[in-house]
Amino acid sequence: MYPYTRYHGLSIFLHWAIALGLIFMVGSGVYMVNFEMPKADQFQLFQTHKAAGVIMLWAIVLRILTRWLSKQPPMPEAFTAKEKALAKAGHIALYTALIAMPLTGWLMVSASPFGLPTFVFTDAIKWPHIPFVERNKTIESIARNMHWVIASGLVLMIIGHIGAVVMHKKKQGISLIQRMWWSKSS
């Protein structure tokens, strides 16, 4: 029934699944690159990170499609025009960073001179390299730097995103979390 008071059920599911996935992706990424461990364990962690990253790519594409194709709850009336514009810009920035994360990871492994394949948790599912990308150390290095910079920006944006939810609750008493949770009534 319009006006909607919450997001589509699939959007809600994907929002929280991706949030959990991001904790794993950032945690595993930082750990495997910066911490000492036996080479075999590091290799295994890289493979797990890549496989989970492919799932994240699909989940993020589906999330963007659901966002685009479903009806959105309007922003709370109590928001000022500036707050509405800020929220919109923040959400666009978040989606952009979200999709750029797996794409730069994919670019990095596609350009790697090692040419290691990516399997999605089973040898039966081999994820291809990007077809038109040549194995080239410079491209790999640019993609690696982008992957790191965007991950750092994403973490900052997520802190801002959570901060905004808390701030609206404390200052205006608006509970935004209800819009992103299931309910039997709507």
Q: Which residues bind ligand HEM (CB under 6 A)?
A: 22, 25-26, 29-30, 33, 46, 49-50, 53-54, 56-57, 101-102, 105-106, 108-109, 118, 144, 147-148, 151
CA dist., res. 11 & res. 168, Å (int): 22
Amino acid of residue 145: N
CB of 101 within 8 A of CB of 155? no
CA distance 30 to 67: 29
* Minimum CB distance to ligand HEM smaller for 86 or for 142: 142
Q: Would you tell me how many other CB atoms lie within 10 Å of the CB of residue 148? A: 14
| CA–CA dist 89, 99 (Å, integer) | 16
Beta carbons of 151 and 101 less than 8 angstroms apart: yes
The least distance separating ligand HEM from the CB of residue 37, rounded to whole angstroms, comes to: 14
Closest CB 25 distance from ligand HEM, rounded Å = 4
151 vs 157, beta carbon nearer ligand HEM: 151
Toward ligand HEM, which CB reaches closer, 154 or 174?
A: 154
Nearer to ligand HEM (CB atom), residue 79 or residue 148: 148
Q: How far is the CB of 22 from ligand HEM (least distance, A)?
A: 5
- Least separation in angstroms between residue 92's CB and ligand HEM is 17
Q: Closest CB to ligand HEM among 11 and 118?
A: 118
Assess contact for 140 and 108: CB atoms under 8 A: yes
What is the nearest approach in angstroms of ligand HEM to the Cβ of residue 17?
12
For the record, the structure tokens of 127 come out as 């994820």
